[in-house]
Amino acid sequence: MQVEDKADVLNKELLSTKQRLVETEEEKRQQEEETAQLKEVFRRELEKAELEIKKTTAIIAEYKQICSQLSTRLEKQQAATKEELDIVRSKVMGCDRCRDLFTTLGSLQASSPGRDHTSTEPMDEEKDGLKEQLRHLELELAQTKLQLVEAKCRMQELEHQRGVLMNEIQAAKNSWFSKTLGSLKSSSSSSSSSTSQAPSSPKEGPA
């Protein structure tokens, strides 16, 4: 009768162990599926972020080139404007009737409102033409400066976005690593717990 009791206990232990083994295998399978899904999600997000960084980097390079071109263009325009202005100023200052076109500081002088233009109409037209030409050059310079500032601001904004993306990628890597490590630890703990909870076989007593 004692042998039958021992056999019954052993049989129950065997069934219990088999059940725990099935549960452990199922848990392991689920964790493997979850890890595979996490890997795939991470891979897609990482690929997407890296592609975005490449695009942003390419755009930044384009803006740097634009800034360089605008800087060169601005320098040339400033040099050309100064040269042309010096030529115009020297010609105008050599004419007694045109000298009042410039102030003593070299800037354009507005026409006197109450002045009689009947006798100097051709000269006034020439002066107006010179003024218009100079204003056009000044406007072109101002527009180029504005384009340069806007390009630099956009480039700084894109560099900031690239930095944020790189930080997000690093954070995603750390998060994925932590989740994977936690999943592995959980699986290991479950296996160890199942092993430690398995009851030991009773020692055979005297028949």
pLDDT in tens, 187-197: 666 555 555 55
Would 57 be classed as within a structural domain? yes
Would 19 be classed as within a structural domain? yes
Would 86 be classed as within a structural domain? yes
Would 58 be classed as within a structural domain? yes
Would 102 be classed as within a structural domain? yes
Hey, what amino acid is at 113? P
Would 118 be classed as within a structural domain? no
pLDDT in tens, 51-79: 888 888 888 888 888 888 888 888 888 88
Would 166 be classed as within a structural domain? yes
pLDDT in tens, 158-177: 888 788 877 877 777 777 77
Domain range enclosing 22: 2-110+123-197
Would 96 be classed as within a structural domain? yes
Q: How many domains does the chain have?
A: 1
